[in-house]
A and B are shown apart, each in its own frame.
Chain A
């Protein structure tokens, strides 16, 4: 009985990558992935996020799992399971450090108890869950068989028995100066409660907690261990059971469960991140991923930007794009600070996220399964060495063109900005002539309008401004020049203070 993986439906694919891809910084994917895994350090998830998939089968396998996990109930169950597994690991870590036998064994027992609870609950919850993905269906079967195995059942029964016997022990400690006694508890009344009861009548509301923060380290001092020793002598049987339990179940954690616990966090971390972003009123969708070059995404947005604006009131502007027929190259021009670079980044992010088998920003999308992404972004705004920079630009573009294939994605952002317009136009035309026959998908951000109409493969998109106030940007990138859309809202309408608006606003 085996379970392969919740992330991979077949072997022989690259499962993890140690280094992040070269284009990560340009596309701000580093910010996105860092934010996603930030709360999940202990799972070491980055290697999964650094390894894009090259086959639609695995992408579909993952999309199915992610769709299942979007069910809030299932997500809650998986999170509860993960939370318990964290505790199991913490307790086991503790046992490696403790000195006193009954103390160490006590924590080992706790770890086993939480593990049993985690698995029992998970099995029970998966049973009732409405699962559709191949990954979860196979995992459910695995867990069900595991939980019913003799191995697990004896772990569960033994742990509960021993714990039950230990926790029913109630003893007393009598503290005097320089000495103490331990005996069984004999039903003496709670004195603090008596005091409380006497003065309770004056209680008006919550009061301060005056309990001192007394030192309570992990571990036991020798007085406490001496007390524990006396308690064990007063109750020899339960402690003998504890010894036996630890000897019998020294390696209780199942390997496939351990793997699932880590891998499922790939989805959990992304979906949790996505849920935060959705609070801004933004959409995500499962893209069709394949070989069609007629790509589109409606209501796409820059995920890194959305994340950065999360704690602000600022809206995130969405953009649409599509390529039809022979169209391959989107040339983005228009006023600066108008969202052009953001658009270019968005474009790149979408393909990458799609290749991880995850939902992507947008209402509906079809995206191309690339072999590689190449980006060329302006490195710095300040230009210290004109010649050096232009040379560097050309060198990098050359290197990229040597490696691109028709299946690559190319994103060029304001290249050749550091030379004269004439030079720039010339160089850009040359590059365009090399890129066009390759048939690859490309976004090219430029200030040169000329590029946008060079062939039937190019599509022009422009950043737009508010017509009445050209200083104000809309951050919308559209396929045509702005058509002078006029807003004729009166100030009252803006404040929703017309007769009709007020009547709608006041609840009867």
Chain B
């Protein structure tokens, strides 16, 4: 039985390594450097916090989902459909989510668990757990029976059909019979063979034959001789040895029962894991609705195409932080490989770049995006290369650090990836920085990497502008004649000044 609510054909898995850090009970995701940069540069924690609403598990799942992008538009649409169902029936979805949560709570409340190292205790602990799970499975079956018809997505329809088929009454009857037999009120029958050194091996617990043949046949059947041995009541060692042997037999069935309990536990955990993403989306949707911000299901285009057109695309992290509706941008960059963004300081360039990155990641995990409408090609992978905060090391060290980060990005780059550069390669002088930026960007474009570049490097940006490439677009942070900013980007030639003077005047003036 597979949940398959995140992918049509496989489980959702934690691809990022989970590690126990200082607190052994608390697991955190260990992010590779490139992903850690995404988190920092795109303010992803703000997004995840909004999705999690204080729930650590929801946070982790949101983190995993957003960082492990889908690159197949169909796979994205599969989730979009399921998410649409969730947005239509939030209460039912939250009820289903309660079932695995209930399993966890029951285990905690009743101290249930399989902790013992004695097979007989393992067996009784596991039996108890099975009984508890069976109750919850019945509740799940009822939800399926009551609401399956109201859902439209392929994912949910398959899920409910599976529950109804697999968890029928007949099945619950068989389970009940096992739970009774597992008490072993009779003896324990083991079969064995002679292993290495004539030691007993391959012990297998057997269910005694309930001989249903006619009594005459039973009498006539040739049966093995039987040797019996009764222990001396004072033979404690013997009693212990016999007990060990009995344990060896029970060990296998205890293991089977405990693993069965684990299987159900595992199923419920997967259900929890895969629904958690949608619960996070529901949480986020509710908050954005309160702010009056629009959301839209994006239209994912294949990675080989170059699409980027949207209206009212806003930075969701900023909206969540400011708790208010913020200015969005409308751009049509369809057919463009290179987007160079120049212009006024404090003019919304970074915010714009972040909104591009966030929308890309949200689209590629199957979420809605923060825009009125949005269409973009999926990318093989997304990288950010931002100028890091000033540090006190020598300039050459800083430039070295920037290039070293760039180099590790190049190690992971494949065609149809995207990179967001924010004021990169400016830690040296304008001429050198421009030259290196030019070489890097030219090579990336030829290797079919899509580039967004926020820059003050005039020689670099204008150099590209002069080439009059059809696949490049130049955006400029808008500045009115009076120096005020609209925080809107407009299409336009890179200008030599970035209006730092404005900033200076505002602060010192």
Contact = CB atoms under 8 A, between A and B. Distances in A.
Interface of A: 91, 94, 98, 102-103, 105-107, 110, 166-167, 169-176, 178-196, 198-205, 207-215, 220-224, 226-228, 230-231, 233-234, 491-492, 494-500, 502-503, 505-508
Nearest to A238: B194
A188 B253 contact: no
B196 A196 contact: no
Contacts of B26: none
A192 B204 contact: yes
20 contacts: A106-B198, A167-B194, A167-B195, A171-B193, A174-B189, A178-B230, A181-B226, A183-B226, A186-B209, A199-B130, A208-B258, A220-B199, A221-B238, A228-B200, A233-B227, A491-B403, A492-B439, A498-B439, A499-B443, A506-B410
Nearest to A108: B197
Given A110-B196, A212-B119, 13 more contacts: A103-B197, A169-B194, A171-B192, A172-B191, A173-B190, A176-B187, A188-B189, A201-B263, A202-B260, A202-B267, A210-B114, A213-B117, A221-B237
Given A188-B207, A195-B253, A214-B251, A183 B407 contact: no
A142 B461 CA distance: 79
Interface stretch (B143-151, B153-161, B241-249): B241-249
Contact of B207 (A105, A189, A201, A215): A189
Contacts of A499: 439-440, 442-443
B174 interface: yes
Given A178-B233, A200-B263, A214-B247, A188 B206 contact: yes
Contact of B187 (A102, A175, A182): A175
B225 interface: yes
B440 A497 contact: yes
Contact of B443 (A194, A212, A502): A502
A491 B433 CA distance: 12
Given A178-B231, A499-B443, A190 B204 contact: yes
Contacts of A207: 259, 262-263, 266
A62 to B, nearest CB: 38
Contacts of B440: 497, 499, 502
A497 to B, nearest CB: 6
B228 A179 contact: yes
B132 interface: no
B126 interface: yes
Contacts of A182: 226-227, 229
Contacts of A195: 178, 182, 253, 256-257, 260
Where chain B touches its partner, the secondary structure class is helix
Contacts of A184: 224
B87 interface: no
A179 B126 contact: no
Contacts of B443: 499-500, 502-503, 506
A169 B260 contact: no
Contacts of A169: 193-194
A492 B210 CA distance: 81
A107 B227 CA distance: 25
A233 B439 CA distance: 87
A373 B242 CA distance: 67
B258 A191 contact: no
Contacts of B86: none
B353 interface: no
Nearest to B2: A204
Contacts of B131: none
A499 B266 CA distance: 50
A183 B224 contact: yes
Given A180-B228, A231-B194, A212 B117 contact: yes
A223 B238 CA distance: 6
Given A174-B188, A179-B228, A194-B207, A106 B196 contact: yes
A508 B188 contact: no
A169 B404 CA distance: 68
B8 interface: no
A102 to B, nearest CB: 5
B446 interface: yes
B175 interface: yes
Interface stretch (B74-82, B411-419, B497-505): B411-419
A499 to B, nearest CB: 4
Contacts of A213: 117
Nearest to B269: A204
A220 B1 CA distance: 44
B254 interface: yes
A199 B264 CA distance: 8
Interface in B301-339: none
Contact of A234 (B193, B209, B225): B225
A212 B122 contact: yes
A214 B262 CA distance: 21
A187 B206 CA distance: 9
A494 B267 CA distance: 51
B356 interface: no
Contact of B263 (A106, A171, A183, A204): A204
Most chain A CB atoms below 10 A, which of B196, B251, B259, B267: B259
B223 interface: yes
B30 interface: no
Nearest to A508: B415
Nearest to A505: B410
A507 to B, nearest CB: 7
Given A220-B199, A497-B406, A212 B118 contact: yes
